[in-house]
Structure 1
Amino acid sequence: MIKKITVHDVRYPLQGNAGSDAIHRDPIYSYAVTRLHDDSGVVGTGLAFTLGEGNDLVCKAAEYYGRVLQGKDIEEVMTNFGELFKQLSNDQQFRWLGPHKGIVHLALASVTNACYDLWAKKRGVPLWRLLIDLSPEQIVNTLDLSYLEYELTAEQALELLKGQQPTKAGRLPILEQGYPGYDTSIGWFNYPDEQVRENCKKALAEGFTAMKLKVGSADPERDIRRAHIVREVAGPDVKVMLDANQQWTLPQAIDICNKLKSINPYWIEEPTHPDDVYAHATLAKAIAPVKLALGEHVPNKVIFKNYLQSGSASFMQVDAVRVGGVSEFIAVSLLCKKFGVPVVPHVGDMGQLHQHLVLFNHIAMGHEALFLEHIPHLQKHFVNPAQIIGGVYKTPQVPGSSCDLLLLEDKI
């Protein structure tokens, strides 16, 4: 039984221009951390990610959501978690602050993710194992599919998951092989050119076969020059992604993305405002065959549905510490599977939670095991940091979702 809920405002300043992009020049990687203290002594940990300011507001909202869990057994909570998620996200007064976005939805992510972590820990298994061992019916019961019915009903979700069961065993070797990663830290926005060059060499030496550069400079020529540095060092066979972090207007994006075609980018990420579905649909046609990756700042399943309906995104970057947590992440993954669009998560959790979720996506849902973003800057702060060896995420074996922070270990 959950006897106590605590919420913590945890912030980690970064060093040496790490984490910088065209919009967020001086980030402080921060977590609103929900901890569910079970009377058996097990503690479930859930994260929502921010860049510093306002993290305390997310914590306050998480405290509000967490109250409903007091005195409940986690198995009881998770049996029909979809209904609880729907109830919390549609709280008649709190909902006005969203709905399903911003501070309140980040808070719900923190609480939701703590529930999944506690569930896995109580069963004594890593989260990926818990998820792939659940029946399709049990998975669907953890989801709130409201507002998706036109594209994905509960019956269709169940059919999709059942349809993957016969081939599921053939995808289990990923557990031994490990899940491929890509290096997103070679080219933070504030890094000088020479540091980008040296980071590319280092990433190649570490076994990465894909890497990402931050673009969105006031002078587009800087972006083009730096992109050519990455392509020159990486060679023609390495996947190179470019990330503008919403910096451009649509006319700017059309112009600059066409100029960046010369380095053969695997995708261009977040080129313009994340709420502007129509602009992305227009851009996708204007710069074809260059592909777009979207979703880092998309807050909920409804807007992901709209992006999928528009046909503008070739890769979806749903992040379980930005949408409403693991439950909504799975709902979006199911939508993406229906539309045939790969899921390549953004990792506000530094890959700790998502290393479990991509294994579930691949094994239980049949998504391609493409690769998962790797950001190394907070590894030293986790009790069980993700292990990336030879450019590959090694399958986590410790019970739970790998989100426990060293800073909070003595706060029982």
Structure 2
Amino acid sequence: MKKSILIQSGQSRDIHFALENGAGSDAVHSTPVYAYAVCSLQTDSQLEGVGLALTLGAGNKLVCDAIDYLVQHIEGKEINELMADFGTTYKKMADDPNLRWLGPHKGVVHLALASVVNACFDLWAKSRCQPLWQLLIELSPEELVNTMDFSYFEDILPREEAITLIKSQAAGRESRLGILKDGYPGYDTSIGWFNYTDEQVTRNIKKSIDQGFTALKLKVGSRNATRDIRRAELVRKAAGPDATIMLDANQQWNLPKAMATCRQLLAIDPFWIEEPTHPDDIQAHVSLAKEVSIPIALGEHVPNKIMFKNFIQSGCMSYNQVDAVRVGGVSEFLLISLLSRKYNVPIVPHVGDMGQIHQHLVLFNHISLGHPAILLEHIPHLKDYFKFPAQVMDGKYITPGEPGLSADFKEFVLEKKVLSQ
């Protein structure tokens, strides 16, 4: 049931979480501080729209400043009227001439856009008393594409083709609804943070497997490749031959080193190598894909639909890791999902937000677009701070039932703003 909800004002919140004891560490961040640039939409009702963008550290304040500017585009709008043609408003925000030289469509302003957009989708779902996944799968193809901006996609996925693609997936939709009961399969990133000792990694693997996970990820990207090789072999030995092992280099290798190290890593039969080199270097990824048989996963630091368009067309991307708190929010995520479906590139999102939002989006991708239900990353460190944290049982995400996109923090988080794990 639709409720008429007027957005009266919007504001940002700068919230930091200091991780401890090596948690969250990778080849770039030795003492990470997870930060959320939060957009809060106040309305003429008791409902509040909450959106997130993820950063690390002090740069979060810059994103919050941009949020406070962008919300003027949606203040005074009724949420259902806004979302009925949201693609138009999205384009106006993304192309705002006052911020365009700070992007366009990347960096601080695009992260801010993500937070504002996600808050709009959260409020929309709450106004209909539905979890976001349910709202999305019940929209007509036309209503769905109205939330997107197809600029620069006219040559590869025009609006009418997108509608046809969605309709073409209706045949198997009923059987795919079973995922709601079965749960979406997860994989555990928290076993192998970069600064964990070998002993910690070994203990974490056993704990993770006992919790039902069969897929695990190790952080690599060391200056000395022998450390990465040794730790990868340790993970394979501890997890066993049937476990799915992913490796994440966090963009630390140049192309020659990526080729050399990946050839050595082949011995542990990795499911993918994630972000093996600079995230903007499409040609390097193409060259690596031609030379080394390990599938490439990327997308965490791919900033917008145009870069995804080019990566997808290049053929080097085996797994698409688009993140709805890094690109321009749910709207751009959905558009990228459609293009990825056209090219049969499966989506396994990056989920620095712990999967709170993406647990909804992968359900939509599977049920409505026919994307395979492969895996969804799970990072458990901040779950105690959310009102409705993502729930994982026996290695699978339990389908969320609360209205919205699961981004609401508990009150004490909003009061303190900086917390330790």
- TM-score (ref. length: structure 2): 0.96
Q: 1:201 aligns with which of 186, 197, 206?
A: 206
Answer yes or no: is 1:71 the counterpart of 2:76: yes
AA of the residue aligned to 1:192:
T
Aligned to 1:356: 360
SS of match in other structure, 2:217: strand
AA of the residue aligned to 1:177:
D
Aligned to 2:224: 219
Contact 2:249–2:273, Cα closer than 8 Å, also in 1: yes
- Alpha-carbon shift at residue 237 of structure 1 (Å): 1.1
CA distance in 2, matches of 1:264, 1:150: 38
SS of match in other structure, 1:180: strand
Answer yes or no: is 1:17 the counterpart of 2:8: no
Answer yes or no: is 1:93 the counterpart of 2:98: yes
- Alpha-carbon shift at residue 408 of structure 1 (Å): 6.5
Contact 2:20–2:31, Cα closer than 8 Å, also in 1: no
CA distance in 1, matches of 2:70, 2:235: 45
Cα deviation digits, residues 299-337 of structure 1 (max 9, x gap): 000000110111001000000000000000001100100
AA of the residue aligned to 2:297:
A
Answer yes or no: is 1:44 the counterpart of 2:49: yes
Answer yes or no: is 1:293 the counterpart of 2:306: no
CA distance in 1, matches of 2:354, 2:393: 15
Answer yes or no: is 1:178 the counterpart of 2:183: yes
Contact 2:9–2:71, Cα closer than 8 Å, also in 1: no
CA-atom RMSD in angstroms: 1.0
Contact 2:298–2:321, Cα closer than 8 Å, also in 1: yes
Q: 2:168 aligns with which of 163, 170, 176?
A: 163
Say if 1:296 and 1:410 are closer, same or farther in 2 by CA, change over 3 A: closer
- Alpha-carbon shift at residue 151 of structure 1 (Å): 1.2
SS of match in other structure, 1:91: coil
Answer yes or no: is 1:236 the counterpart of 2:207: no
Aligned to 2:400: 396
Answer yes or no: is 1:339 the counterpart of 2:343: yes
SS of match in other structure, 1:137: helix
Cα deviation digits, residues 244-298 of structure 1 (max 9, x gap): 000000000000000000000000000000000000000011102x100000000
Answer yes or no: is 1:270 the counterpart of 2:280: no
SS of match in other structure, 1:308: helix
Aligned to 1:284: 289
Q: 2:258 aligns with which of 240, 248, 253?
A: 253
Aligned to 2:419: none
Say if 1:151 and 1:57 are closer, same or farther in 2 by CA, change over 3 A: same
* Number of equivalent positions: 410
After superposition, residues 13-162 of structure 1 pair within 5 angstroms as: 13-162=18-167
CA distance in 1, matches of 2:310, 2:283: 10
- Alpha-carbon shift at residue 410 of structure 1 (Å): 7.2
CA distance in 2, matches of 1:147, 1:251: 33
AA of the residue aligned to 1:329:
F
Say if 1:409 and 1:13 are closer, same or farther in 2 by CA, change over 3 A: closer
Cα deviation digits, residues 30-67 of structure 1 (max 9, x gap): 10000111111100100000001210000000111101
AA of the residue aligned to 2:306:
V
Q: 2:331 aligns with which of 327, 332, 340?
A: 327
CA distance in 2, matches of 1:87, 1:64: 13
Aligned to 2:377: 373
- Alpha-carbon shift at residue 167 of structure 1 (Å): 1.9
CA distance in 2, matches of 1:214, 1:337: 28
Cα deviation digits, residues 10-48 of structure 1 (max 9, x gap): 000001110010112221001000011111110010000
Contact 2:300–2:323, Cα closer than 8 Å, also in 1: yes
CA distance in 1, matches of 2:319, 2:296: 7
- Percent identity between matched residues is 59
Contact 2:15–2:414, Cα closer than 8 Å, also in 1: no
- Alpha-carbon shift at residue 409 of structure 1 (Å): 7.7
CA distance in 2, matches of 1:193, 1:402: 34
SS of match in other structure, 2:324: coil
CA distance in 1, matches of 2:328, 2:303: 8
Aligned to 1:303: 307
- Alpha-carbon shift at residue 4 of structure 1 (Å): 2.0
Answer yes or no: is 1:8 the counterpart of 2:13: yes
Aligned to 2:3: none
Gaps of 5+ in 1: none
Cα deviation digits, residues 110-169 of structure 1 (max 9, x gap): 000000000000100100000000000000000111112221110111010011122211
Contact 2:221–2:253, Cα closer than 8 Å, also in 1: yes
AA of the residue aligned to 1:330:
L
Gaps of 5+ in 2: 1-5, 416-421
CA distance in 2, matches of 1:164, 1:359: 14
CA distance in 2, matches of 1:348, 1:89: 23
